[in-house]
Amino acid sequence: MYPVRESIRQILSELPEGVKLVAVSKFHPNEYIEAAYQEGQRVFGESREQELAKKVVSLPQDIEWHFIGHLQTNKVKYIVPYISMIEAVDSLKLLKEINKQAEKCNRDVDVLLELHLAKEETKSGFDLDECRALLESGEWRQLTHVHIRGLMMMASFVDDEKQIREEMMQASDFFDEVKEKYFHDDPLFCERSWGMSHDYQIAIECHSTMVRIGTSIFGPRVY
């Protein structure tokens, strides 16, 4: 078994106060999650609905699950009953569906809006103008069961630190812009989710409040 306990202990000791760890456990077995849990970790990230559903019923109930992958509208109803945060909301349609299903379950769901700033075509998310347009429309204010808690992004998967830093700072500046314009009276709009195994140290310097780390805790994923 991968030395999960040692790895997570090391990472937790490095994170400054105010930066929360989402342990990305996708494709890893329950025993790995339990090992991290024994080190006190309670927030885990998954990206596939069926895998998550299985884990939720067989692992401790006080785990906070974050859905970090691309979520299809027709899958929302399956995860809304137990999800703590949906990190990668990339359309108004998805936001509305989360609200609708949350209302049905009589609960509130926290979400982040996903930005697309990477140069890669494959990644999803809003570009900055799309995100501005969504917030400007004000429709989200009527969605009383879904709470926008901040922004999420993935930087380009490159070795060039300068590029990663530029993208993350762009996200951070955009956070400041929308905080001021739409959320200045909402202290709960405070999360900046960027940083993965290979770039979380840069992310922390770029004002991240939430790092999503998988490989550096659990080792390589076995697909």
Ligand X SMILES: *Cc1c(COP(=O)(O)O)cnc(C)c1O
Binding site for ligand X (CB under 6 A): 24, 26, 47, 68-69, 154, 196-198, 212-215
Which of 163, 197 has the CB closer to ligand X?
197
Which of 143, 203 has the CB closer to ligand X?
203
Which of 47, 208 has the CB closer to ligand X?
47
Which of 143, 208 has the CB closer to ligand X?
208
CB of 221 to ligand X, least distance (A): 7
CB of 212 to ligand X, least distance (A): 4
CB of 44 to ligand X, least distance (A): 11
Which residue type sits at 173? D
Given a contact cutoff of 8 angstroms between Cβ atoms, the answer to whether 191 and 210 are in contact is yes
Residue 223 burial class via C-beta count within 10 angstroms: exposed 0-12, middle 13-18, buried 19 and up: exposed
Q: Give the H or E element holding residue 54.
A: helix 49-58
E-strand ranges in 53-165 read 64-67, 85-89, 109-115, 146-153
CB of 194 to ligand X, least distance (A): 9
CA 7 to chain centre: 21
